[in-house]
Amino acid sequence: MTDGDGRALDPFDEVILGLFAAGNTTSNPMGPGYPGAGETLGPGMTMGYAAGRRAVNG
């Protein structure tokens, strides 16, 4: 799991400082569903972008 900035969370939903995740290493916002093409690439790219911004800007 991550927060909205792609920061990895521990089992207690606390941010693990310095660890970011996106794509297939993370849980998908749609859960087990796959409503259509782009369901993995879309969130992966979006959260990769968010994580990159957060990593650069702190």
Ligand X SMILES: Cc1cc2nc3c(=O)[nH]c(=O)nc-3n(C[C@H](O)[C@H](O)[C@H](O)COP(=O)(O)OP(=O)(O)OC[C@H]3O[C@@H](n4cnc5c(N)ncnc54)[C@H](O)[C@@H]3O)c2cc1C
Binding residues vs ligand X (CB under 6 A): 23-24, 37-41, 44
Measured from the CB atom, the residue of 17 and 37 that comes closer to ligand X is 37
Measured from the CB atom, the residue of 9 and 23 that comes closer to ligand X is 23
| Paired strand residues for 7 | 20
Could you give the CA distance from residue 23 to residue 8 in angstroms, rounded to a whole number? 12
Burial (CB count within 10 angstroms: exposed 0-12, middle 13-18, buried 19+), residue 2: buried
The CB-of-37 to ligand X minimum distance in angstroms stands at 4
The CB-of-53 to ligand X minimum distance in angstroms stands at 17
